Amino acid sequence: MEKFEITWDAPEFEYREKEVSWYWLSIIAAALIIAFAVWDKDFLFGFFVVVAEILFIVWGNRVPHVITFTLTDSEIDIGGYKSYLLKEFESWSVDSTGEEWAEIFFSFNHTLRHPS
C-alpha cells in the first residue's frame, strides 16, 4: 500500500513591509506615554513602556521564517519541531478566499491540553 503524504511551505506569519513613518509614529506614541508616566511619577510603568517599544520595533522588523508542513495518513508534522497525530483533532477545514494562500483550521478534541 502506498503511503499518503502532502508537503507544503508557509511563512510563520503574514509579513507587511513597514515604512519609516511607522517607526516614527510608534516612537512618538511611546515618548508621549513615557512623558505621562514621568508626570505621574510612575517610573515602573515608564520602564515597561521603554521595554515594550524596543520589543515592538524589533518584532515589527522581523521577517518570517518559511516552515515546511507535512501531512501523512496518521499525523501532521510542523517543520520537524512539532507533530500531532490526526486522532488528536476533532475536525479541520480549509478557507480559500482567493488570496495568496489558503488558511487551514484544526480543532482539537480537547480544549485544555498539556504542552508536549
**pLDDT score, position 98:** 66
Exposure string (b/e) for 23-44, b if CB count within 10 Å is 16 or more? eeeeeeebeebbeebeeeeeee
110 by DSSP, 3-state: which?
Answer: coil
- Residue 109, all three cell numbers: 478534541
In the DSSP assignment, the letter for residue 99 is: S
In the DSSP assignment, the letter for residue 71 is: E
Percent of the chain surpassing pLDDT 70: 90
Instruction: Write down the pTM of the prediction.
Output: 0.60
- What tens digit of pLDDT does each residue of 22-76 get? 999 999 999 999 999 999 999 999 999 999 999 999 988 888 989 998 888 888 8
Ranking 35-39, 75-79, 86-90 by mean pLDDT, the lowest is 86-90
Q: Kindly list the domain boundaries of the chain, sorted by start residue.
A: 5-13+65-108, 20-60
Single-letter amino acid code for the residue at 66: V
Closest to 57 in 3D by CA, of 25, 87, 97, 13: 25
